[in-house]
A and B are shown apart, each in its own frame.
Chain A
Amino acid sequence: MAPADTDEHGEPVPARPRADSGQPPHGLDPDSREWLDALSSTGERHVRACTRLHGQLLRIAFKELHRRRGRHRITGPELDDLAHQAAGDALLAITRKIGGFRGESRFTTWAYKFVVFEVSTKLGRHFWRTEGVPLDAGGWEQLPDRLGMDPQRESEARELTDALRRAVDEVLTPHQRRVFVALVLDAVPLEALVAELDTNRNAIYKTMFDARRKLRARLEAQGHLDASARGRR
């Protein structure tokens, strides 16, 4: 196997950068190489590596569910099930896609990404199944507070909210309006909306990105927002 502790230009770099090294984490460190070899092997070694990795993924799944505990109400056996499903699905995806690991990060960082994604996706689907996605136009009254507007300037906030509401009705497409209402007014988790609309996160984000640009342009054209402030951001 070729030496891994070089970058794409053949320059030597630290394989395991220390937090204070300031060096980019190029190169395949020995642990990552060992994981790759074991998971690419067959027989007992492969089984042991999968078991070991599953244990680590399960631990990360529980930690991630705990970190997000303020945003879901899942507890007990249901929480255990979700963590096990996330870890199992992540392990399956990792073993399928291991050929795509390019050594740009530590193997475990790449692997943990799968389980963090799985937890996120499963929480979104759980929200969709249990809470539903109220695709109506509620929540305008809470918008100033949700955006963190100064409550002392209520009349200004109301005026801007009214202008935004008119812009949402007048410049957005029906799909953009539906996505805007769900995410912004009804505070539906993005993953739940992804499940509801049977699409992907990137498509929803792009829809919102375009909606924001259109709304901003309308509000600037009407003098509600200062166009010159954009360049100063």
Chain B
Amino acid sequence: MTDTGDRSPAGRLSAFLATDPRDVGCAGAMEVLHVYVDYVAAGADTARFAGVVAHLRACGPCSDEFDGLLAAVSQDPWPDGPGSAP
């Protein structure tokens, strides 16, 4: 749900029922989630991901997976490659 900060009952219900025509849906967002996460982690321009951003605002489970993947790569910025096993 898009949070506008408006806590009035009508404002909250309006935000809950809001739909964004740019929303690419779960499948569209998950298809490029790894690319979007790398852009976000790199601080790069994410303008081309407007449909993904719209979806993540509206879809809790996909937003949760974005958070999880971003946390995974952020905590593990440049993991060792396959040849560097101890």
Which A residues lie at the B interface, using CB under 8 A? Answer: 16-25, 30-31, 34-35, 38-39, 48-49, 51-53, 56, 59-60, 63-64, 67-68, 104-106, 108-110, 112-113, 116-117, 119-120, 144, 147-150, 153, 156-157, 159-160, 164, 189-191, 200-202, 205-206, 209, 212-213, 215-216, 219, 224-226, 229-230, 233
Secondary structure type dominating chain A contacts: helix
In the complex, number of A-B residue pairs with CB atoms less than 8 Å apart? 185
A225 to B75, CA, bound (A): 43
What B residues does A108 contact at CB under 8 A?
A: 73, 76, 79
Q: Does B53 contact A (CB under 8 A)?
A: no
B51 to chain A, nearest CB (A): 13
CB of B82 within 8 A of CB of A48, answer: yes
Give CA–CA (A23, B46) in the complex, Å.
10
7 contacts between A and B (CB under 8 A): A21-B42, A22-B43, A105-B34, A150-B12, A212-B16, A215-B17, A225-B14
| Interface SS of B by simple majority | helix
From the candidates A48, A59, A112, A164, name the one contacting B13 in the complex (CB within 8 A). Answer: A164
Count of chain B residues with Cβ under 8 Å from any Cβ of A?
A: 55
Kindly identify which residue among B12, B39, B44, B85 contacts A147, using a CB–CB cutoff of 8 Å: B12
* CB <8 Å contact, A109 and B25: no
User: Do A63 and B44 touch across chains, with their CB atoms under 8 A apart?
Assistant: no
CA distance A39 to B82 in the complex (A): 9
